[in-house]
Amino acid sequence: MAMPAAMTLLAWNRLVRAADLANQHCAGALRAVGLPPPEWYDVLLALERGGAQRPRDLQAALGIEQYTLSRLVDRMVKARLVSRTPCPADARGHLLQLTIEGLAMRAAMWPIYAEAIETALGARMDEEDRAALARLLAPLAEQPRAEPLSA
């Protein structure tokens, strides 16, 4: 297997570093005012926008591992931000649903999260560069197509 080109490695390192710094900044801003981490916001927003969902559907929408989502949802249920109800279509499964407290928490988190996003990205790049970055990252933000198995 060929090694990635030097420029590919540089781009990769910068992409990962930028994402880590932005995530740390956003998490720190929320934590500083006693709010939960950005991952909670993502779950709350997905449930607000999509309504009650099975965990596997939420997992696919958010692109996170099943075990990570499971632990996250357990904490959010304990905090009464999300509820679990039996799935009417499959008695073995359940649906995750946003509670009134979860809706209020999502609303409380957004101004802090939005300001942190603006500080981490918006204030550091002009509109043209943000548009170029969004365009360049688009193919990386899509799930890769499965390659056919060779015989």
DSSP string, the chain: -PPPPHHHHHHHHHHHHHHHHHHHHHHHHHHHTTPPPHHHHHHHHHHHHH-SB-HHHHHHHHT--HHHHHHHHHHHHHTTSEEEEEETTEEEEEEEEE-HHHHHHHHHHHHHHHHHHHHHTGGGS-HHHHHHHHHHHGGGGSPPPPPPPP-
Indicate the pTM of the whole model: 0.85
The pLDDT score that the predictor gives to residue 118 is: 96
> Alpha-carbon distance 130 to 123, whole Å?
10
- For the record, the structure tokens of 92 come out as 């073995």
The pLDDT score that the predictor gives to residue 91 is: 74
> Which CATH number goes with the domain that contains 84?
1.10.10.10
141 against 6, higher pLDDT: 6
pLDDT of 23 over the 60 cut: yes
Residue 74 lies in a domain: yes
Residue 112 lies in a domain: yes
The pLDDT score that the predictor gives to residue 148 is: 59
pLDDT of 37 over the 70 cut: yes
- For the record, the structure tokens of 43 come out as 């779950």
Residue 131 lies in a domain: no
Look at the chain and report how many structural domains it folds into: 1
pLDDT of 10 over the 90 cut: yes
The pLDDT score that the predictor gives to residue 93 is: 85
Residue 138 lies in a domain: no
Residue 90 lies in a domain: yes
Q: What is the pLDDT of residues 58-80, one digit of tens each?
A: 999 998 999 999 999 999 999 99
Give mean pLDDT, residues 36-56.
96
The pLDDT score that the predictor gives to residue 111 is: 98
Residue 72 lies in a domain: yes
Residue 148 lies in a domain: no
The pLDDT score that the predictor gives to residue 146 is: 62
What is the domain extent for residue 99?
Answer: 34-120
Residue 29 lies in a domain: no
